[in-house]
Each structure stands twice: as structure tokens, then as C-alpha cells.
Structure 1
Amino acid sequence: MLGSTRIDGSVALVTGANRGIGRAIAEALLERGAAKVYATARDPKTLVALQERYGSRVVVLRLDVTDADQVAEAARAATDVDLLFNNAGAFEPTELSDERILDVARREMEVNYFGILRMLRGFEDTLVRRGGAIINVSSAAGLSNVPLQPTYSASKAAQHSLTQASRALLAGRGVTVHGVYPGPVDTDMTKDLPPQFEKTAPDAVANKILDGVEAGDEDIFPDPFGVAFGEQFHASPKAAERQLAAIVATPA
């Protein structure tokens, strides 16, 4: 259990805030009293509607987390951040036999692992100065590989390991680090998942994430699938592995 964090009055930065979970997190932060949200995306035009709705409490930043210069620019612009939500993610459906798999794996790692590493380095001094919190939006697939998503799962496993390391290394400097492990969420990224996956609405997931941050939960499971899988994983990692492996053989 980490120290509790207040959403009301906070200043947050959300990567990938233009859609899906990121958009829902930005909206939930604003609805729950955040003083300011830096909403970031590769294309700032995709954030115009959010800014129009919430006015000056939304500051739009252009940010591609794979671009070190843009990360550094964002860190210089947002020196008052209390809460850093590393949400931007990449997923490309692929199979082990796919000749593109190495390229796919590199692209996913570049966003899901190296992107977060860049953000941690860029915002470390600000978060230490403000006694802030880092929230890494990962996936249940980062705890045990989903064979339907082999390289994506591997990139999220790397992200989970980085979350653990940064939590240990930054705790003594007053920064709390949360890992978020949802199951399937109803976003563009999951539109091609088999029908046996029950998806949770992004707004419900976003509010559970903020509940977990405020409660000081190190590991946040923000949806029914995530909660059940988290319990299975903590009880028996091998059983969790078999559970996800069985999905491959389940008819669509």
C-alpha cells in the first residue's frame, strides 16, 4: 500500500489522451476536481474537443513518447505536474509465424517500454520536487502472456518490470508508483478481440484507476476481468498462464 493521493486540486499529465482509456482518464480527472490536465497526443488537433469542453483547465501538448525531443519539450512545459499517467500504448495483432513479427515487436516496445522510460527520466525531477505519483497503465497481459498477443504481452511485461524498479528506486524520494492491469477495455485497440472477451467501458475503468490512486494501491485492477485475473495470478501464476493460454483454443 502506497501513500494516498488527492485527485482534487492536482495537476496531471496524460499521454495518449485523445481516445480510449487516456481520454476517459483525462475526463475523469477533470470531473473529480483536477486543477489542470495536460492532455497529450501525437496530433494535438485530436484534443480540441476536450479543450473546448473544459476550457483553460486543459492544456494541449503535442507528444509522441517515442520522440526524445518531444518528451523533453513536454517536461519543460509541464513543470507543475503532480500525477503522471503513462497511458499511451501500441498494439499490433500478429502471430509468431508472421514475417513482420520482429518489426511489430520493436514498435510495441518503443512505445510501451522505452516510451515510459523516456517519460520517467523526463519528469523525474518535477515529480520528486512535488512529491508526485506515476501511474503506468499496463495490462493483465503484462503479468502473464496472452498467446494471441505475444509481442504486445512481452512489451507490457517489460513495462511491469520497469514499474517495479521505479517504485523501489523512487520511494525514498517521495514519489509513488502505481501499476494498472486492466483486462479487455472497449476501445479501438480491442475491436478485433474474439467475442469471448467481455469488455469494460473506458469511463468505468478510468474511475476505478483514480479510486486506486487515491486509495494508495500499488497494483490496480480496474475492471471485473482484471480483478478476477489478479486474484488468480497472485494465487498461482502458473494457473493464470494456463488460463490465458486456453483462450487460443476457444472458438470465436
Structure 2
Amino acid sequence: MSVDIKDKIALVTGANRGIGASIVESFFAAGAKKIYAAVRQLDSAKELTEKYGDKLVPVHLDLEKPETIQELAKTAADVQVVVNNAGVLIPATPLADDAEQNLQQELTINTFGLLRVAKVMTPIIESNGGGAFVQLNSVASIKNFLGLTTYSASKAATYSITQGLREELSDKGIAVLSVHPGPIDTNMAATGGMTDIAEPTSVVSEGIVAALKAGDFHLFPDSMAKDFGQAFHSYAKEIIES
């Protein structure tokens, strides 16, 4: 299902920096009509507001507080495209003392956050004539990285849920895109110790615009991700996308 961002109204979670801010820029460059920038602190979207004026609407969202997701839906009632980008990475190996605690927080934000955003926003997208739901997953959703074990586990769960959303939303006129970046130049990459191989955020944001227009389900945007995608291709096509 092809979705052109031109003239669309979008919601981007975690929009104040990194990949989220880049998505905002790429969407406006592609002709988006309006974007809701969902952030924990409204002041953090000040730079985007100054740049885009009334076309950029900051809205409060804290994925650890489900009530803010419900409030978000009341404000962003005209949305056609949702990009669930907000997430958290806490380095941990499987036997680390804080692994269980870290996994709990990552599941709350990354996994339950996805479920709650999708639950609330799907009826809105459908009521506005259909559109798209984009989930930022990771190459870590496909392969566990030892130092990022709990993060990998939470992203494996979000990837599985994204597959379920694709099947459930297809009859509602909503395309679903699963995005699997490798190391991208963000604070998250710095936390994971991967800045030396990180690529610009624009490879993800521009890739999303192109993948939505092409009607793709998977996007592997950067160099490392493309290697994953090439190896994963036949399984994805024959098993997941069949």
C-alpha cells in the first residue's frame, strides 16, 4: 500500500532530536501539511516550532504515562500518519545485576508504548481516510547484541507486534512500515558506544518517505542495516510478508 507524505498530517513521537527531528524535516520537505511533535517536554520542540511555525504543533507525550497517550489522541484527532519513534536504550548483558530492571523500563517504553500508541491512534487514522503507521525498530530486533541484550529483547517484541499490526491494519487502509536502522548518529548510539560507525539521521528519515511511497513493509536504511536486510530478505519475503 503506497502512502505519499505530501499534504498529509502526521504525528512523530520523540520528535525533538535525533531521528525524530530528522523525520519532521524530511516529512516537511516531502510536502507534509502539518506535524504534531510528541515530546516529554514541550520546550524541547522550541527550535522546530521556530523553524516551521504553525505547521509544527508540539504535544506532550510520556510513554511511561499511559494517560498522556489518551490526551494526545484528543489533540491530534486529524492525523493520517503516525511515526512511533520514541524509545529508550539501556546497555545491559543478560547476567547484569540491573538487567531485569532495565528490561522492565525498555518494555514499558518501547513495547507497551507501541501497543498503547497503536491502540489509540489506529481509529483516528482510519477515521481520516487511512494512511500509515511507522514503527522504529532496529537491527537489534533481529539479532541480539550482547551489550544491548535487554534493548534487543524489547525491540524483538516490538518487531513481532509490528508484524501483527501489518496484518490487522491492512483492511483498515493503513500501511505499516517496520524500520530497522543500524548505528545512527544519535544520543542512543552514543549510549550504546557506536558513534564511530554511526550514519546520519537523514538516511532513516528520507528512507521512511521513500519506503512509504514504495509500499514496503521493511526498511533497512543504513549500511549495516542493508547488510542485515540482504541476509534477511528471503526469510522476510517468504515467511513474514507472505
Task: With the length of structure 2 as denominator, give the TM-score of the two structures.
Answer: 0.93
Equivalent position to 1:30, from 14, 24, 28? 28
Letter in 2 for 1:47: A
Alignment of 1:206-221 (within 5 A): 206-221=205-220
Given the superposition, is the C-alpha separation of residues 224 and 68 from structure 1 closer, same or farther in structure 2, using an over 3 Å criterion? same
Report the count of equivalent residues: 235
2:200 corresponds to: 201
2:69 corresponds to: 71
Cα offset, 1:198, TM superposition = 1.9
1:186 corresponds to: 185
1:116 corresponds to: 114
Cα offset, 1:100, TM superposition = 1.0
What SS does structure 2 have at the residue aligned with 1:136? Answer: strand
Letter in 2 for 1:198: I
Equivalent position to 2:81, from 80, 83, 94? 83
Gaps of 5+ in 1: 238-252
- Contact map agreement 2:189 2:195 (CA 8 A) in 1: no
Given the superposition, is the C-alpha separation of residues 95 and 54 from structure 1 closer, same or farther in structure 2, using an over 3 Å criterion? same
2:46 corresponds to: 48
1:175 corresponds to: 174
Equivalent position to 2:58, from 60, 66, 84? 60
| Structure-1 separation of matches of 2:59 and 2:194 | 36
Cα offset, 1:66, TM superposition = 2.3
Letter in 2 for 1:184: P
Alignment identity in percent? Answer: 36
1:154 corresponds to: 153
Runs of 4+, deviation exceeding 6 Å: none
Cα offsets for 1:71-104 (capped at 9, x unmatched): 0110011111111000001101112232111110
| Structure-1 separation of matches of 2:123 and 2:95 | 43
| Structure-2 separation of matches of 1:202 and 1:97 | 32
What SS does structure 1 have at the residue aligned with 2:177? Answer: strand
| Structure-2 separation of matches of 1:167 and 1:178 | 8
What SS does structure 1 have at the residue aligned with 2:197? Answer: coil
Gaps of 5+ in 2: 237-242
- Contact map agreement 2:13 2:83 (CA 8 A) in 1: yes
Task: With the length of structure 1 as denominator, give the TM-score of the two structures.
Answer: 0.89
What SS does structure 2 have at the residue aligned with 1:214? Answer: helix
1:93 corresponds to: 91
Letter in 1 for 2:174: V
Cα offsets for 1:221-244 (capped at 9, x unmatched): 11111111111123579xxxxxxx
| Structure-1 separation of matches of 2:192 and 2:65 | 29
Cα offset, 1:49, TM superposition = 0.7
| Structure-1 separation of matches of 2:145 and 2:159 | 15
2:123 corresponds to: 125
2:222 corresponds to: 223
1:137 corresponds to: 136
Cα offset, 1:204, TM superposition = 2.4
1:6 aligns with 2:4: yes
| Structure-1 separation of matches of 2:136 and 2:194 | 23
Letter in 2 for 1:151: T
The Cα RMSD (Å) is: 1.6
